[in-house]
Amino acid sequence: MSTETTEEAHREGHEPDATHDATHDHPSDGKYIQIALILAALTAAEVATFYVEDSLGSLLVPILLSMMVVKFFIVAAWFMHLRFDSNLFTRLFLSGLLLATGVYLIFLLTFEFF
Amino acid sequence: MSVTAETHDPDAPTAAIDRAPHSEHGPADGHATSTGLSNEKLGMWVFLGSECLLFGGLISTFLLLRSREVEDMRGPEVADLYDIPFTSVSSFVLLMSSLTMVLALAAIQRGDQQRLRAWLVTTALLGSTFVAGQVYEFTAFLREGLGFTTNLQSSAFFVLTGFHGVHVTIGIVMLMSLVVMSARGSLTRQRAETVEIAGLYWHFVDVVWIIIFTVVYLIR
């Protein structure tokens, strides 16, 4: 959270700051709204591909998967605060994510999905 | 496991323990832990890592069953019944609920209880709208003759999206519990981490839908 918003809260007579760690380095409300607008634009672009999928041809799947990955990591990094928190949280989450991706890719390969 | 400085072996390295209460990412209640991090938050991240395996299994099973050509398959194909504009709106609603959730966290970090409750209720309402949309979609599928046991891909579809819907519903219960706690005055600024942990769960449910929306609905 920005210093500006913290000072504003103090002026408004809210509770005193007793949790330094909880407020450390987190983005301002405005930044969160900017992130949400980027996510909304990406979602709109994803939906737009539905109407032009014939013209995109074989590019459709890579484009959609790329946008999905970007949205996923934006939410994880900014809204879930992995960008600001301890690397251990990132490693724990990525461990589960990569294990799941690996296991189920092998599963799909085994059953000749691709 | 929580380890306090008093109970720690004096011969063991204590730097992390001593630093923990003052760590910039340490637990909000100031208790020292062996990692210098909040055990509750650590537990939530471990849980979310394990949830990746649950949803990964459900998504890959659906993909596999959808790709199989079955002779004399009963009922319509799931993909033929999708209403993409409707699901897009639902996806957008869930995405925006992540914004309101993070704004609720920012509010409690400022000690602003009124805005905390307002954003929590907004998040719960957006989540409820998403679940209502899912119920509508399921009803529409049933009207078209596609039930849970109609064929293999319909079973996989209902299990996958149903499990996600249950997760959203659990999230809504968590959010409303936080609203009640805040109204009773037991959710103080010092306990902002409680909101953060509930938020992690909520954002995870959102990122899972980001994958489902693309892989299940848009890529056919």
Q: Would the pLDDT of B208 be above 60?
A: yes
- Alpha-carbon distances of A38 from A7, A34, B126, rounded to whole Å: 28, 6, 19
Better-scored residue on pLDDT, B142 or B8: B142
| pLDDT given at position B220 | 82
How far apart are alpha carbons A113 and A36 in whole angstroms? 35
- CA B116, B39, B168, B89 dihedral sign is positive
Angle between helices B113-143 and B192-212 (to 10 degrees): 30
Give dist(CA B65, CA B51) in Å, integer: 21
Q: For B166-176, write each residue's pLDDT tens digit.
A: 999 999 999 99
- R_g (Cα) of chain B, nearest Å: 22
Name the pLDDT band for B71 (thresholds 50, 70, 90).
confident
Q: Supply B147's token pair.
A: 């039930």
- B79 contacts chain A (CB < 8 A): no
Please give the single-letter amino acid code of residue B67: S
| Placement of tokens 């100031």 in the chain | B30
Q: Note the pLDDT tens digit of each residue in A44-97.
A: 999 999 999 888 888 999 999 999 999 999 999 999 999 999 999 999 999 999
Ranges A16-25, B11-20, B61-70, B160-169: which has the least confidence: B11-20
Buried (b) or exposed (e) across A95-111, using 16+ Cβ within 10 A?
A: ebbeebeeebeebbeee
Q: pLDDT (tens digit, 9 = 90+) per residue, A97-108? A: 999 999 999 999
Q: Would you say B42 and A89 are in contact if contact means Cβ atoms under 8 Å apart? A: yes
Size of chain B, expressed as the number of residues it contains: 220
Compute the average pLDDT of residues B190-197: 95
Chain B interface, best mutation among A33, A43, A59, A84, by max B CB count within 10 A: A43
What the block records as the tokens of B183 is 């109204």
Residue B128, pLDDT > 60, answer: yes
Cβ pair A23, A46 in contact under 8 A: no
Residue A17 pLDDT greater than 50, yes or no? no
Asked whether B93 and B129 are in contact (CB, 8 A), the reply is yes
- Which of the four pLDDT bands, split at 50, 70 and 90, describes residue A10? very low
Long-range contact set of residues B58-61: C-beta below 8 Å, sequence gap at least 24: B58/B156, B58/B159, B58/B160, B58/B163, B59/A104, B59/B160, B59/B211, B59/B212, B59/B215, B59/B216, B60/A104, B60/A107, B60/A108, B61/B156, B61/B159, B61/B160
Q: In chain B, which residue's Cα lies nearest the Cα of A86?
A: B25
Using only C-alpha atoms, what is the Rg of chain A? 20
Q: What is the pLDDT of residue B27?
A: 58
* Interface probe, candidates B22, B33, B45, B51, chain A, greatest A C-beta count within 10 A: B45
pTM for this model (two decimals): 0.83
Chain B from 123 to 182: CB within 8 A of any A CB: none
Instruction: Give residue-wise pLDDT tens across range B6-57.
Output: 444 444 444 443 333 334 445 555 567 787 889 999 999 999 999 999 999 9
A75 vs B: CB within 8 A:
yes
Residues with Cβ < 8 Å from B110, sequence gap 6 or more? A1, A5, A6, A8, A9, A14, A23, B189
Question: Of B19 and B87, which is predicted with more confidence?
Answer: B87
Considering only residues B60 and B10, tell me which one the structure prediction assigns the higher pLDDT: B60
CB atoms within 10 A of CB B78: 23
Q: What is the predicted pLDDT for the residue at B70?
A: 73
CA distance B184 to B31: 24
Do A43 and B88 count as a contact with CB atoms less than 8 A apart?
yes
User: Do residues A62 and A105 make contact, with C-beta atoms less than 8 angstroms apart?
Assistant: no
Residue B195 near chain A (CB below 8 Å): no
Q: Which residue has the tokens 């969160």?
A: A32
Among B31-35, B118-122, B194-198, the minimum mean pLDDT is found in B31-35
Average pLDDT, whole number, for chain B?
87
Q: Is the predicted ipTM greater than 0.85, yes or no?
A: no
The SS3 assignment for B56 reads: helix
